[in-house]
């Protein structure tokens, strides 16, 4: 656990350091080109196009499973489904190099690294688990492997934001349908080691004087907000929930559309780098700072975007008292100037940013390269909150009277609430509120922020699946969906209505021909064993590998002996395992779903009065849930 935290912290810091230098090089190049508009435009678009195309081509050439964030696949693995190719070291190398290039494309592509870091952390955890088994000689323990993967998810988040507590809570909310308390301290230990090392490296590199929050804020602690402002925080939650629903629907639709459309599906099948380059060309052209990019604060990096949105000052007041001439280079002490434009004011730039980044980010999520989608959602939510905060501040320039005392509105507090509420609604989590506090070192707004997150979550969970569940649906991963039907009819559905009745059973006295007939008529990994063909009373199960060994053994005997002397029974030649768990025909759909998730089951036999009548796999369970959600 300690090694996992330290390794991921080193990788995160090294990647941030490399990306920072690459972004600085691009910024320096832009300055050196002077006033030559054509060269500035070409350098602006060629840089992200080259990086995005290389990221896609390199990652896809090594393994096709390196694209995207990796969280949907990890969620599927944690339910007991084996997807071994997603946790290989080959995939790790492809993801690290590809993600570095993706991040170096800057805020132009508007992509982050949280999801891929959760995936990278899980790959390191799987590798460390195998190393431990080889050194100590322990047998392969699926429970230990599961514990390492759950801790790895917490480490992935904590080494990006330096936030161990919310990292653990985020991993619980997103990764697990059920969480074992014994994994709690393991996750905290590993996440704390990772976050501490990540922040310590920043101090050693002279980036900071001491360990502090990643996005430091300076809100007024003594009087952060007036009580009447709680109403506006609730309105912000409603807005974030509504926009979150629209985003999730559009993103899932577009992800499916690019797979169905003949042109885009052909590109994604044969020329993935070309598809990524075309998307990068479109997005980079729009964000060029001398054109529409001047209204999108496109010169700021992702970190600078978030830092500027959390500014405790009121921008529309500053714009009244300052010259709005944009400096030739970004002023780190006055990042708000990138949002100030005399033509459309700060309200116009924030609204334009929200409208344009909505579809640009949805388009970016279709790119087949390593990329994270949490950080952009977090920044986008902060921009919604900032717009609401600036609007409230404009309506009440002197503040809202509370007990005869006037205190000015702090728009940065609304940006904080918006970031937590929107990202929470998209991912269906509440831990984003705590993540916002840990990342900013600001906890004075804890109640209104949590209120906004709860309101946004209530709206989105009612109408849309989460971002990760939506991706699972589109990719058709073998993941059990939630039973979203609130109708009482779902409780009346029992196992008998959806189980598979075509079950090939063997009796204990089955001979060579019986075993051969059953094993060639089915691809099942294990088969039920009954007392005899008349009673059909279930007594155990036998694995396919055992049956194959039984056939091979008896076939070799037949070649050397007479057939009569080599007749063997199944119970003599195979190890019949006892069945410790089975369903009855009266088990409800809800109970079966709960047990499959809790015990990570793949298939279970169904009995009635001790007799086997069928079996249930994840396929039948998923179809039953889908039929409930979409009845004929």
Paired sense of beta strands 603-608 and 611-617, if any: antiparallel
Instruction: Give me the residue spans of the domains in the chain.
Output: 2-204, 229-474, 488-510+521-542+576-629
- pLDDT attached to residue 479: 75
Domain 2-204 matching CATH 1.10.3080.10: the answer reads yes
β-bridge partners, 527: 542
Tell me the CATH number for domain 229-474: 1.10.3080.10
What is the Cα–Cα distance from 154 to 71, expressed in whole angstroms?
12
Do the two domains 2-204 and 229-474 of this chain adopt the same fold?
yes
- pLDDT attached to residue 322: 64
- CATH class (in words) of the domain with range 488-510+521-542+576-629: alpha beta
Q: DSSP label at 600?
A: T
- Return phi, psi of residue 506, to 5°: -120, 140
- pLDDT attached to residue 182: 73
Instruction: Report the 10 Å Cβ neighbour count for 228.
Output: 12
The 10s digit of each residue's pLDDT in 202-211 is 777 766 555 6
pTM, to two decimals: 0.83
Q: DSSP label at 115?
A: H
Residues of the chain short of pLDDT 50, as ranges, are: 139, 561-566
- pLDDT attached to residue 247: 92
DSSP string, 463-488: H---HHHHHHHHHT-S-PPP----SG
Contacts of 362 (CB under 8 A, 6+ apart): 247, 250, 251, 254
Helix (H), strand (E), coil (C) string for 492-548: HCEHHHHCECCCCCEECCCCHHHHHHHHHCCCCCEEEEECCCCCCEEEEEEEHHHHH
- pLDDT attached to residue 219: 62
What is the Cα–Cα distance from 105 to 107, expressed in whole angstroms?
7
């Amino acid at each position: 656990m300690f090694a996992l935290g330290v390794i991921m912290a080193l990788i995160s810091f090294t990647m941030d350091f490399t990306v920072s230098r690459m972004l600085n090089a691009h910024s320096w190049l832009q300055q050196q080109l002077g006033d030559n508009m054509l060269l500035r435009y070409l350098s602006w678009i060629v840089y992200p196009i080259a990086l995005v195309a290389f990221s896609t081509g390199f990652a896809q050439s090594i393994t096709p499973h390196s694209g995207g964030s990796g969280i949907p696949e990890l969620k599927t693995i944690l339910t007991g489904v084996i997807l071994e190719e997603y946790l290989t070291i080959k995939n790790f190398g492809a993801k690290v190099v590809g993600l570095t290039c993706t991040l170096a494309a800057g805020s132009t592509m508007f992509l982050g690294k949280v999801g891929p870091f959760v995936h990278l952390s899980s790959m390191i955890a799987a590798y460390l688990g195998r190393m431990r088994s080889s050194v100590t000689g322990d047998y392969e323990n699926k429970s230990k492997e599961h514990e390492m993967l759950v801790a790895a998810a917490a480490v992935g988040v904590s080494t990006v934001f330096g936030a161990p507590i919310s990292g653990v809570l985020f991993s619980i909310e997103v990764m697990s349908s059920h969480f074992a308390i014994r994994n709690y301290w393991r996750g905290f230990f590993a996440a704390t080691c990772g976050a501490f090392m990540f922040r310590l490296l920043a101090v050693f590199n002279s980036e900071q004087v001491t360990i502090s929050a990643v996005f430091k804020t300076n809100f007024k602690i003594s009087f952060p907000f007036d009580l009447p402002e709680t109403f506006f925080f609730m309105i912000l939650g409603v807005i974030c929930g509504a926009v979150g629903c629209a985003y999730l629907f559009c993103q899932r639709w577009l992800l499916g559309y690019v797979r169905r459309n003949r042109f885009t599906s052909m590109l994604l099948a044969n020329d993935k780098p070309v598809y990524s380059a075309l998307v990068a060309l479109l997005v980079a052209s729009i964000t060029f700072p001398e054109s529409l990019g001047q209204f999108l604060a496109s010169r700021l990096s992702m970190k600078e975007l978030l830092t500027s949105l959390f500014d405790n000052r009121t921008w529309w007041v500053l714009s009244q008292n300052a010259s709005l001439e944009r400096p030739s280079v970004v002023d780190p002490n006055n990042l708000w100037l990138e949002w100030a434009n005399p033509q459309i004011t700060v309200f116009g730039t924030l609204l334009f940013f929200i409208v344009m980044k909505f579809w640009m980010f949805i388009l970016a999520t279709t790119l087949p390269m390593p990329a994270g989608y949490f950080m952009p959602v977090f920044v986008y939510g902060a921009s919604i909150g900032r717009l609401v905060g600036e609007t409230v501040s404009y309506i009440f320039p002197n503040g809202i009277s509370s007990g005869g005392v006037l205190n000015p509105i702090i728009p940065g507090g609304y940006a904080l609430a918006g970031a937590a509420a929107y990202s929470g609604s998209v991912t269906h989590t509440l831990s984003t509120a705590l993540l916002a506090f840990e990342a900013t070192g600001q906890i004075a707004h804890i109640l209104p922020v949590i209120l906004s997150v709860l309101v946004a979550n209530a709206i989105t969970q009612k109408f849309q699946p989460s971002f990760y569940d939506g991706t699972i649906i589109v990719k058709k991963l073998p993941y059990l969906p939630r039973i979203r039907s609130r109708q009482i009819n779902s409780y009346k559905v029992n196992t008998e209505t959806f189980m598979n009745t075509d079950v090939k059973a063997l009796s204990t006295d089955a001979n060579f021909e019986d075993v051969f007939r059953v094993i060639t008529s089915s691809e099942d990994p294990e088969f039920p064993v009954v007392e005899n063909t008349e009673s059909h009373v279930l007594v155990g199960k036998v694995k396919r590998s055992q049956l194959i060994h039984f056939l091979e053994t008896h076939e070799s005997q037949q070649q050397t002996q007479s057939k009569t002397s080599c007749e063997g029974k199944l119970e003599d030649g195979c190890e019949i395992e006892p069945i410790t768990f089975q369903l009855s025909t009266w088990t409800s759909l809800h109970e079966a779903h709960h047990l499959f998730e809790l015990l990570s089951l793949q298939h279970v036999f169904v009995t009635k009065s001790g007799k086997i009548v069928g079996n249930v796999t994840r396929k039948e369970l998923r179809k039953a849930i889908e039929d409930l959600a979409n009845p004929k």
